[in-house]
Amino acid sequence: MTTTYWCARAWLPDGVADAVRIEVADGRITEVAPDSPRTGTVLTGLTLPGFANGHSHAFHRALRGRTHHERGTFWTWRDRMYSLAARLDPDAYYRLARGVYAEMVLTGYTSVGEFHYLHHAPGGKPYAEPNAMGEALRRAAADAGIRLTLLDTCYLAGGIGVEPDEVQQRFSDGSAENWARRVAGMGEDELFRVGGAIHSVRAVPADQLSDVDNGTPSARPLHIHLSEQRAENEQCLSAYGRTPTTILYDHGVLGERLTAVHATHLTQHDIERLGAARGRACFCPTTERDLGDGIGPARALLDAGVRLCVGSDSNAVVDAFEETRALELNERLASEERGRFAADELLAAATDHGAVGWPEVGTLAVGAGADLVTVGLGSVRTAGIEPSGAIFAASGADVRHVVVAGREIVRDGEHRLIERPETVLAKEIEALWQF
């Protein structure tokens, strides 16, 4: 069965075109024809490829509005996050994530890489189904209609040479070998894939880094939190005499499938090594500013050959447009210059589904996965703009229509699969904090 969409304007690989007819069959785009007569489902406004959320911790959404006013550091914020993690079980995680993923789709995301380390029951005891928490996320994403890559995360230590504490025991499989064995028990389906992640060089001993790399399926991505905090670099230099990036290089982990999340505090040598490896860096601007992480060297990384992507991380803000433009706006603050990225460079970062294992998605072209996001051009935010300026003017509230793998998930700004996601989120978050 073929579905026809007629887009008043669409952002194609060569730029914005008018009156574009897009034919979709079996979840793929089969034809793209600009200057076509109106036919099929009419999408007014500007239609773009679906946005990719390169880095998410779904359960952090329950911290929104509850930690922002507090003084302190990333590490004091982490204590609050750990207290939340201790409250979750598979059922609660499913209900919370279902609302979070629905929120993502409503703001323009059509895929998400979930950096998942909340594996076991309190005390580290495995559930009867060892991947019960991951399966909860799979069900949540399926219900919300979003592509999910479970970046199953190896997390073995509470710091370099430090045993996991009571909460961190829930994250640990004891060894990278045990982690790989558990992950191998998960299957994939049309909208669900499984990749791997190293939590950080603090949480995985150096002599097990390559085991995580080898335990991640070769066709799937591998992610790591890298140099997010200065303290991480200091601890690594103290323990190993090398930067976190150098540790990865020494153990053969740097490569094209690796995504360095945050990559905030890098040396010039780190940047050169990441560029030579042709890996990726995932910036999460709204979380990085919320936690006071700093501003990473995004332009320098891109110039060195590193591919960029973006993510919502803690989900303190879920808005694909806000995350994307912040990549440029943060660069302006750091460099005191405007125009650090061209609009097509920003769109490429925002739609890099390959970073989370969906390389066939992210462009409005024949053969690509049929993920479409239509943003209205008639709101108080977007009225009168040039279409290519939508990244800077629009917000998630302007998303009117979302198609994922050829399936309509959002119509006229309403989620078609989950009624009133805001009610779902409010109910579950209140229940968690009353636990």
Is residue 74 within 8 Å of 200, Cβ to Cβ?
A: no
Q: What is the largest CA-CA distance in the chain?
A: 66
User: Distance between CA atoms of 295 and 303, rounded to whole angstroms?
Assistant: 16
Is residue 100 within 8 Å of 109, Cβ to Cβ?
A: no
Three-state SS sequence of the chain = CEEEEEEEEEEECCEEEEEEEEEEECCEEEEEECCCCCCCEEEEEEEEECEEEEEECHHHHHHCCCCCCCCCCHHHHHHHHHHHHCCCCHHHHHHHHHHHHHHHHHCCEEEEEEEECCCCCHHHCCCCCCCHHHHHHHHHHHHHCCEEEEEEEECCCCECCECCCCCHHHCCCCCHHHHHHHHCCCCCECCEEEEEEECCCCCCCHHHHHHHHHHCCCCCCEEEEECCCHHHHHHHHHHHCCCHHHHHHHCCCCCCCEEEEECCCCCHHHHHHHHHHCCEEEECHHHHHHCCCCCCCHHHHHHHCCEEEECCECCCCCCHHHHHHHHHHHHHHHHCCCCCCCHHHHHHHHCCHHHHCCCCCCCCCCCCECCEEEECCCCCCCCCCCHHHHHHHCCHHHEEEEEECCEEEEECCEECCCCCHHHHHHHHHHHHHCC
Cβ atoms < 10 Å from Cβ of 57: 23
Give me 358's structure tokens.
């969906």
Cβ atoms < 10 Å from Cβ of 386: 11
Q: Which of 270, 290, 293, 313 is an active site residue?
A: 313
User: Distance between CA atoms of 46 and 386, rounded to whole angstroms?
Assistant: 10
Give me 416's structure tokens.
């078609």
Active site residue 262: yes
User: Distance between CA atoms of 274 and 255, rounded to whole angstroms?
Assistant: 8
Active site residue 313: yes
Q: Which of 116, 262, 265, 415 is an active site residue?
A: 262
Is residue 230 within 8 Å of 267, Cβ to Cβ?
A: no
Give me the active site residues, please. 262, 313
